[in-house]
């Protein structure tokens, strides 16, 4: 009598040996199931608030994010010697309407600074026409050359409009009127329409903080590096003929500077056309 290992129609099959491909397939399915569970849990964890509260948030990204801030020591502003600097102002990030700075409706506070030609320039000297102001220093190896280049472009594009450009140094101890005069010459500035101002550091920083709501801070200690001695914004501020701030425009973004140019054209009175515009020249950086 012969015997066989295969189950016949009447057998239960409980003792039958499964082929190798059966167990391989089963292992693959188990591995895939575990991977799907891990992926699902990881997605849920990403939807948990970073503060650790464990409360889930909507998957959709919010359109108005809270600006990131950092606190740096500064002596001019608060009683406890601290000034909160909004990094979105330093990096030119846009803000929601709720977080947008509210400039004083009464206008920029009075000031008195020295121009590169040695004469005193006050707020009153700028009233009656729109003007734009930027904050740089001549030894800067960061964004300052870009800001100055954008101002040179504004000067050339707005030669037929009654506007003023103001460069206010954030390093007045080194940027004397003579230094600023040389900087202006290197950058092809028309000094009849583009002012290069310097003054007391406390007065300068106070004006930038209070009237323009922009950050500025001198770096001291071991973190101070040549060419990066002052933290400041690349924003250019638009001021109308009444001396009221109308907006800020990031000089690192060509599209925002184009918007600034259009605003100045809209606010300014046209001048008689002239064919004697200066030829564009190079923009100097802090190495000169």
149 falls within a domain: yes
9 falls within a domain: no
Let me know: does 49 contact 193? Beta carbons within 8 Å.
no
pLDDT digits (tens, 9 = 90+) for 150-196: 999 999 999 999 999 999 999 999 999 999 999 999 999 999 999 99
150 falls within a domain: yes
Handedness of CA 100, 101, 105, 108 (dihedral sign): negative
What are the backbone dihedrals phi and psi of residue 253, each rounded to the nearest 5 degrees, phi first?
-120, 115
Residue where the block lists tokens 């608060």:
78
- Which range marks the domain in which residue 209 is found? 69-267
Predicted local confidence at residue 22, as pLDDT: 59
- Are 47 and 110 members of one domain? no
Query: What is the rounded distance in angstroms from the CA atom of residue 288 to the CA atom of residue 286?
Result: 6
What's the total number of domains in the chain? Answer: 2
Model confidence band, residue 245 (pLDDT cutoffs 50, 70, 90) = very high
pTM: 0.64
- Are 210 and 86 members of one domain? yes
pLDDT digits (tens, 9 = 90+) for 61-104: 434 444 433 334 333 344 444 444 444 455 454 443 334 457 99
DSSP annotation string for 243-286: S-EEEEEETT-HHHHHHHHHHHHHHSPB----S-PPPP-PPP-T
pLDDT digits (tens, 9 = 90+) for 110-154: 999 999 999 999 999 999 999 999 999 999 999 999 999 999 999
Instruction: Assign residue 132 the CATH number of its domain.
Output: 3.40.30.10
- Are 96 and 180 members of one domain? yes
- Are 33 and 147 members of one domain? no
pLDDT digits (tens, 9 = 90+) for 98-115: 344 579 999 999 999 999
What are the backbone dihedrals phi and psi of residue 52, each rounded to the nearest 5 degrees, phi first?
90, 10
- Are 118 and 55 members of one domain? no
Whether the pLDDT of residue 225 is over 60: the answer is yes
Residues contacting residue 170 through CB under 8 Å, at least 6 positions apart: 135, 136, 137, 204, 205, 208, 216, 218, 230, 232
């Amino acid at each position: 009598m012969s015997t066989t290992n295969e189950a016949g129609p009447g057998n239960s099959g409980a003792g039958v040996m499964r082929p190798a491909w059966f167990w391989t397939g089963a292992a693959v399915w188990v591995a895939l199931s575990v991977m799907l569970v891990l992926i699902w849990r990881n997605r849920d964890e990403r939807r948990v608030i970073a503060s650790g509260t464990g409360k889930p948030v909507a998957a959709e990204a919010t359109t108005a994010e809270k600006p990131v801030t950092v606190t740096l020591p500064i002596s001019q502003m608060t009683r406890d010697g601290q000034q909160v600097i909004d990094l979105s102002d330093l990096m030119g990030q846009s803000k929601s309407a709720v977080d947008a700075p509210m400039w004083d409706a009464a206008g920029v506070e009075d000031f008195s600074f020295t121009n590169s030609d040695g004469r005193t320039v006050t707020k009153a000297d700028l009233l009656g026409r729109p003007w734009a102001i930027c904050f740089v220093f001549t030894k800067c190896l960061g964004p300052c050359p870009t800001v100055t280049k954008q101002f040179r472009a504004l000067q050339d594009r707005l030669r037929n409009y009654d506007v003023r450009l103001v460069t206010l140094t954030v390093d007045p101890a080194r940027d004397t009127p003579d230094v600023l005069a040389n900087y202006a010459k290197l950058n092809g500035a028309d000094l009849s329409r583009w002012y290069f101002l310097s003054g007391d550091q406390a007065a300068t920083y106070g004006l930038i903080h209070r009237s323009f709501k922009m950050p500025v801070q001198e770096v001291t200690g071991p973190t101070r590096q040549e060419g990066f001695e002052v933290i400041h914004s690349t924003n250019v501020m638009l001021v109308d003929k009444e001396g009221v701030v109308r907006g800020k425009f990031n000089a690192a973004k060509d599209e925002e500077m184009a918007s600034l140019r259009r605003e100045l054209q809209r606010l300014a009175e046209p001048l008689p056309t002239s064919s004697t515009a200066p030829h564009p020249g190079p923009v100097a950086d802090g190495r000169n």
